[in-house]
Amino acid sequence: MANSLVQFRTDETLKIKAANICERLGIDLPTYMRMCISRLIQENGVPFSMKLEKEPESLGVMAMKAASRIAEENGISDMTLDEINAEIAEIRKQGDL
């Protein structure tokens, strides 16, 4: 099968962003373009999505979300700082903390 050159113009910033995404996916931009053309023909339309997963949340953010969920489940999510400090003081009096 003979090869054919396909050219088009695009904004340089978009090209750089697209090339960076392809690099993170382990391919280069020309490979991505060949994949697009091949799949477009196979499916007679745009059939696929290649996306990078969202960056994972930090452990701190996950811990805060878990604490919020637990507080909500136990009906204490609306406590004021004074109420929280009073609870802590009471527990300390009992020697449990």
- pLDDT tens, 75-96? 888 888 888 888 888 888 887 5
Look at residue 26 and tell me whether its pLDDT is greater than 90: yes
Q: Do 63 and 90 share a domain, yes or no?
A: yes
Rounded distance between C-alpha atoms, residue 13 and residue 19, angstroms: 10
Q: Is 54 a member of any domain?
A: no
Q: Do 63 and 37 share a domain, yes or no?
A: no
Q: Is 28 a member of any domain?
A: yes
Residues 6+ apart with CB under 8 A from 79: 71, 87
Q: Do 66 and 90 share a domain, yes or no?
A: yes
Domain that holds residue 65: 59-94
Q: Is 6 a member of any domain?
A: no
- pLDDT tens, 37-69? 998 999 898 777 777 777 777 888 888 888 888
Domains of the chain: total: 2
Write the DSSP symbol of residue 1: -
Q: Is 38 a member of any domain?
A: yes
* pTM of full prediction above 0.85: no
Q: Is 78 a member of any domain?
A: yes
Q: Is 20 a member of any domain?
A: yes
Q: Is 77 a member of any domain?
A: yes
Q: How far apart are the first and last CA of the chain?
A: 77
